[in-house]
């Protein structure tokens, strides 16, 4: 994962649309952006958005991810952009997402056990 993946995700979440985020915010092609978001979801191991003809909607994991995604660039800037800092921040970010994902899975299992 790179900071650009977080920037892409934030744009999609805020626009509510892959097409609008690609055209208005990121100045890139929608298929490329869609692929980047899919790669991000695969890397974090959880679906972040649901896609429909009417746009995108954040999943519960996507909402949690968005809160953390917004912090990562600011932390990176505060530490001074360099590969070592960025790599460390993204590793911490992924670890937190794994915690959130396992918490969500645990809650889902306990609901089914009732």
Distance CA 55, CA 17 (A): 5
φ, ψ at 56 (rounded to 5°) = -125, 155
The structure tokens listed for 43 are 């890397």
Mean pLDDT, residues 30-53? 91
Assign 2 a pLDDT band (cuts: 50, 70, 90): confident
* Strand stretches in 1-114, DSSP E: 49-52, 55-58
Structural domain harbouring 27: 3-113
Q: How many domains is the chain partitioned into structurally?
A: 1
Assign 69 a pLDDT band (cuts: 50, 70, 90): confident
CATH code assigned at 91? 1.10.10.10
pLDDT at residue 111 tops 70: no
φ, ψ at 16 (rounded to 5°) = 70, 15
* pLDDT value for 77: 59
* pLDDT value for 110: 47
pLDDT at residue 88 tops 50: yes
């Amino acid at each position: 994962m790179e900071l650009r993946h977080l920037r892409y995700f934030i744009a999609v979440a805020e626009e509510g649309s892959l097409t609008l985020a690609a055209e208005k915010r990121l100045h890139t092609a929608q298929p490329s952006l869609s692929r980047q978001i899919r790669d991000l979801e695969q890397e974090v191991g959880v679906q972040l958005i649901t896609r429909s003809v009417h746009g995108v909607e954040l999943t519960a994991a996507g909402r949690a991810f968005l809160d953390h995604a917004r912090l990562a660039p600011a932390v990176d800037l505060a530490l001074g952009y360099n590969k070592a800092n960025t790599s460390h921040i993204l590793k911490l970010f992924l670890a937190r997402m794994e915690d959130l994902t396992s918490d969500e899975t645990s809650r889902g299992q306990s609901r089914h056990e009732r």
